[in-house]
A and B are shown apart, each in its own frame.
Chain A
Amino acid sequence: MAKIMIVDDMASMRKMVSFTLESVGHEVMQADDGDVALGIAQENTFDLVITDVNMPNMDGITLTKELRGIPSFKFTPILLLTTESAKDKKMSGKAAGATGWLVKPFDPDKLLATIKRVLG
């Protein structure tokens, strides 16, 4: 099973995502903003990173850019958690190197289906 990092400043979202992923057997690490996530990324590798876009300290797009600079994250799938209206966010996320996005509202089944797409 995969090792996944979820980055979101909202604890409930973080917990729901990890709960969903853990319930199918993935190993999940949580970070509550980009700064923290980057710290974790220095010492861990992941099969997938899921990150919120709007966060204090370091947002998800900056995080994506930073992660792509770390050799072990060069090809790691990074998914942005966004809302349907944030088209420009998706684009700047892609420009920063994001793999794709997960559209909120958060739906466990949708999450599982989407990560299947990047994890195979």
Chain B
Amino acid sequence: MSVDLEQFKEMFYEESSENLEAMESGLLELSEGGTDLDVVNTIFRSAHSIKGGSATFGFTSVAGFTHVMEGLLDEMREGKREAEAKIIDILLESVDVLRAMLGSHQEGVEPDDERANILKSQLVAIRDGGVSSSSGSESPAQAADSSTEVSDGTCQGWNIQFSPHEDLLQTGNDPALMIRELGALGTLSLEMDDSRLPSLDAMDPELAYLQWHMSLKAGEDGNVPNQDAIEEIFEWVEDECDLTLEAIEEKRKSPDRRADERRQNDRRQNDRRQGSRRDGESGAKKTTQAAASIRVGTERIDAMMDLVGELVITQSMLSQLGEDFDMSQMERLRDGLTQLERNSRELQESMMRMRMQPVSFAFNRFPRMVHDIGQKLGKQIRLEMQGEDTEMDKTVMEKLNDPLVHLVRNSMDHGLEPPEERTEAGKDPEGYVRLRAFHQGGSIVVEISDDGRGLSREKILDKAIEKGLVTEKDAELWPDEQVFHLLFEAGFSTAEKLSDLSGRGVGLDVVRRNIESLGGRVDVASKFGEGSSFSIRLPLTLAVLDGQLFRLAGQTFVLPLVSIIESLQIRKELIGGVGSNAEVYRLRDQYIPIIRPASILGCSDTYASLDGGLLVVVEWDNRHVGLLVDELLGQQQVVIKSLETNYQKVPAISGATILGDGKVSLIIDLAGLFELSGLMNDRAFRIAA
């Protein structure tokens, strides 16, 4: 029978990437002078697991490569080899190569073995060049080759003398099964020898006393059983029995056929190896992380199972109540409904928890990155991580990756000074980049801070004025925070030579946009000469949204609650007009644009008068904008359903949800709405946040 293991590949890839991460962080720990045996063990185990799995799936080049790595690691583990920096660097590079190789397999292309082969020979050179017991570590191919000396061809069968030691049974082996197995190889005749069997009262049933004399000859198929097959049966009990194997021979010589065969096999194997190398050269190099799967601790599933159980109880209680309901049972109905509400809320929360993963999944890549980039830049950088256990939604985390990398790179590149400059400024030559994650209210905050040179207000303002983002007069009044926020402006960051400034900026507008598209925001604080800190604030999950329901032309829409600043009734005297169709409203000391979602979304043609209308003031992209709505309804948590997957992308709508009364309600996408309204390009409305 054959068992299809294809379905387990995805899991193997996932595990391997975890193992690679474990190896990486372990190696980095060693590179910082750690000598913890546990760390070496973990690295070894990870390599070992990857080797085992890849061999199973037929990824011979990966298995071969990890085999060599494992050999070195084993020597380190046994204390025969020091964890020198050179070795660790090569092992780190090997991790990269492995990742790429497995990535290729995952995409279904043969990996490019070239780099692997170079590294492999480096590893072998280290292994063989070291003081260690290089003789003990042979390649698997050689090991297989040096098997038994055989001289069959003339062999007619075997005489086998099998005397188990008394303790054989205690290893879980059973002579009867072995003999049965022998019988399956050919025609077996046997004679039992019970001479060692003591009298009944002296007999210990846990010990083996019997011995056998057997002769095994060709079976019905005429094939003489070969020695390897027989020895294999007794392989496990080598040390627990006395075994003699004697060929029953006829005197006729024939050439050593098997050796010949073996040579031929070797040649074939070599050909195959070369073939795969050639194939590998055409392999593509792109890497994708497909696999939309998630690993969930069983205790979470158990908790959910409990909740489902409760839900079922409530359901049966309610349906029983429904059988013969009258008003006297109103109280019970209410109780039941309350219980149902609690069940479904808890179920929802529990479901959400399943999507949560520790932020360490996103942080894990940084030790390596900081190590590598620090070396490249010639800076001494210490990475500090805090709150790695903080959990966040898997989807949010995936989308957070790029902005995080960007900001960390930024800190290393531009924030931290070279050691000399730091020493001159009276600082520790080693700077730090700190990653910190924590929960605050319904949000998760990730902070990226450094003790570098900090942001220079003057330089940023010079640039911003030059770019026309702010006037000189306004600028004087702006607090630092607002000035620093200019870094995230699109017009600012596309400027050519930003690294001349205090350095930050390249592409930071992209970072901001990414984070805002997740419903989050990014802030920056900095003290010149002392360092900067970027903080990203994100909602805990993307699947549920705190929404404000409102009515527009008879339909109910949802607005994300977090973007609403306030709601107010329009007073006629505060309405202003700029040009013919741009309406503005005076809100305390500033004018904000008014947009009419009803006409933008095409719900209504009638042009309602503003006077007395309801204005919802929202903030997006540092701007305050008033939305004219017909009526404000309640606030509630809504579960977001994607429109794209069920229908198609609709401008200005980020998704839909089903309300309590069963009606579908659309969720407004503010960015899209503003884009449709034409406000996006209107710099006049760019207001100070």
Contact A120-B177, Cβ < 8 Å, known A15-B8, A56-B45, A74-B170: yes
User: In whole Å, how far is B177's beta carbon from the nearest beta carbon of chain A?
Assistant: 5
Indicate which residue in B2, B140, B171 contacts A108 across the interface (CB closer than 8 Å).
B2
A9 to chain B: which residues have CB within 8 Å? 45, 49
Contact A20-B170, Cβ < 8 Å, known A13-B52, A54-B44, A118-B177: no
Is B591's CB within 8 Å of the partner chain A?
no
A76 and B3 contacting across the interface, CB-CB below 8 Å: no
User: In whole Å, how far is A25's beta carbon from the nearest beta carbon of chain B?
Assistant: 12
Is B180's CB within 8 Å of the partner chain A?
yes
Mask of A1-16 contacts with B, CB within 8 angstroms, 1/0: 0000000011111011
Q: How far is the CA of A100 from the CA of B176 in the complex (A)?
A: 16
Indicate which residue in B3, B51, B170, B181 contacts A23 across the interface (CB closer than 8 Å).
B3
B181 to chain A: which residues have CB within 8 Å? 117
Chain A residues 10 to 48 lying within 8 A of chain B, measured CB to CB, are 10-13, 15-16, 19-20, 23-24
A10 and B49 contacting across the interface, CB-CB below 8 Å: yes
Chain B residues 34 to 55 lying within 8 A of chain A, measured CB to CB, are 42, 44-45, 48-49, 51-53, 55
Q: How far is the CA of A11 from the CA of B138 in the complex (A)?
A: 29
Contact A84-B140, Cβ < 8 Å, known A10-B52, A54-B45: yes
B49 and A75 contacting across the interface, CB-CB below 8 Å: no
Indicate which residue in A56, A74, A105, A117 contacts B56 across the interface (CB closer than 8 Å).
A105
A85 to chain B: which residues have CB within 8 Å? 67, 137-138, 140, 143
B172 and A120 contacting across the interface, CB-CB below 8 Å: no
Number of chain A interface residues as a range: 35 or more
B51 to chain A: which residues have CB within 8 Å? 83
Is B327's CB within 8 Å of the partner chain A?
no
Q: How far is the CA of A108 from the CA of B3 in the complex (A)?
A: 6
Is B1's CB within 8 Å of the partner chain A?
yes
Indicate which residue in A12, A84, A109, A117 contacts B11 across the interface (CB closer than 8 Å).
A12
Mask of A94-109 contacts with B, CB within 8 angstroms, 1/0: 1001111100111111
B48 to chain A: which residues have CB within 8 Å? 54, 83
User: In whole Å, how far is B21's beta carbon from the nearest beta carbon of chain A?
Assistant: 14
Listed from nearest, the 9 A-B pairs whose CB atoms lie closest are: A105-B55, A100-B236, A99-B172, A108-B3, A77-B172, A12-B12, A12-B11, A106-B56, A105-B56
A residues apposed to B, CB below 8 Å: 9-13, 15-16, 19-20, 23-24, 54-56, 68, 74-78, 81, 83-85, 94, 97-101, 104-109, 112, 117-118, 120
Q: List 6 A-B residue pairs with CB atoms under 8 Å apart, sorted by A's residue number.
A: A12-B12, A19-B8, A105-B63, A106-B56, A109-B1, A120-B177
> Contacts A11-B15, A97-B172, A99-B236 given; 5 further ones with Cβ under 8 A?
A54-B49, A68-B170, A81-B52, A99-B172, A108-B3
